[in-house]
């Protein structure tokens, strides 16, 4: 038997508000398993996520500078408590390639720039010595934009709070390629729990953009023997990047 669409009604049998039929329809869709939809405000009453509108007004942001202004002195998750600076992201706003890491560390927090510590130097070497690209020619961002205390892993709620900003950055830059660095960036964008050891080096797709995961440079500092695996991933990426022109 099909599901019935519920519409909240007054005692007189009229819809409780002009938007009540829409809210009822949204509930009906949600019960049928639809999780995300383009739609008006009333759809949110049914707990549905609106594309591009994770935060009111985010859908009206059309440049990276405007996005940084929108984020403001963000207090949308508890990582705001320990940060020195929000690390928004850096690089070419028209980059063909975006690297996505996990979150700022101590050096990044102090300087307000992504990947500037030891792991950052390794990433710069990968980009400039390995890929023969300028670091300023690519874009670098993180899943969470504030430093987790003691460099702990970001929690699910923190990732969920900050992810809309990363999604928006990727939407605005519209790169041809994304290289995710490590477990959190990869699992967040691909919506998977598969381990990075299985995901790395395999082409995937994120919102129509080709995505290749590899290990995080901080992991490589602890496990230098795996540099050869990252080198293999980078060669795969460059073969497509160079063939794309």
Residues that bind ligand SF4 (CB under 6 A): 71, 74-77, 79-80, 86, 144-146, 158, 161-162
Tell which residue, 130, 101, 131, 129, has the closest CA to residue 117.
Answer: 101
The residues pairing with 210 across neighbouring beta strands, listed in sequence order, are 177, 205
Measured between alpha carbons, how far is 63 from 209 in angstroms, rounded to an integer? 19
Nearer of residues 6 and 75 to ligand SF4, judged by Cβ: 75
CB of 73 to ligand SF4, least distance (A): 9
CB of 77 to ligand SF4, least distance (A): 3
Strands 90-91 and 97-101: unpaired
Measured between alpha carbons, how far is 85 from 83 in angstroms, rounded to an integer? 6
Tell which residue, 36, 35, 72, 75, has the closest CA to residue 52.
Answer: 36
Q: What angle do CA 189, 191, 196 make, to 5 degrees?
A: 75
Nearer of residues 46 and 77 to ligand SF4, judged by Cβ: 77
- Give, in order, the Cα–Cα distances in Å from 87 to each of 83, 111, 180, 194, 196: 9, 8, 17, 27, 24
CB of 132 to ligand SF4, least distance (A): 33
CB of 167 to ligand SF4, least distance (A): 12
Nearer of residues 140 and 146 to ligand SF4, judged by Cβ: 146
CB of 87 to ligand SF4, least distance (A): 9
Nearer of residues 21 and 59 to ligand SF4, judged by Cβ: 59
Helices (H) and strands (E) in the chain, counts: 9, 8
CB of 57 to ligand SF4, least distance (A): 15
Nearer of residues 151 and 223 to ligand SF4, judged by Cβ: 151
Nearer of residues 26 and 143 to ligand SF4, judged by Cβ: 143
């Amino acid at each position: 038997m099909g599901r019935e669409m519920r519409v909240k009604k007054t005692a007189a049998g009229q819809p409780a508000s002009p938007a009540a039929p829409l809210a009822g329809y949204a509930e009906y869709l949600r019960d049928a398993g639809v999780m995300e939809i383009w739609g008006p405000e009333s759809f949110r009453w049914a707990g549905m996520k609106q594309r591009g509108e994770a935060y009111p007004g985010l859908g009206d942001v059309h440049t990276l500078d405007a996005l940084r202004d929108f984020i403001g002195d963000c207090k949308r998750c508890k990582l705001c408590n320990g940060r020195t600076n929000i690390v928004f992201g850096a690089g070419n706003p028209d980059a063909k390639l975006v690297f996505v890491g996990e979150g700022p560390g101590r050096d990044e927090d102090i300087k307000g720039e992504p990947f500037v510590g030891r792991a950052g130097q390794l990433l710069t070497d990968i980009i400039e010595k390995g890929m023969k690209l300028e670091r300023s020619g690519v874009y670098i961002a993180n899943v969470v934009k504030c430093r987790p205390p003691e460099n702990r892993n970001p929690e699910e709620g923190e990732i969920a709070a900050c992810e809309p900003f990363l999604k928006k950055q990727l939407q605005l830059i519209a790169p041809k390629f994304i290289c995710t660095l490590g477990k959190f960036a990869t699992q967040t964008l691909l919506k998977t729990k598969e381990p990075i050891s299985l995901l790395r080096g395999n082409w995937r797709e994120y919102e129509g953009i080709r995505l290749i995961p590899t290990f995080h440079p901080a992991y490589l500092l602890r496990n230098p023997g795996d540099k050869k695996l990252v080198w293999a991933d980078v060669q795969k990426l460059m073969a497509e990047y160079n063939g794309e022109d």
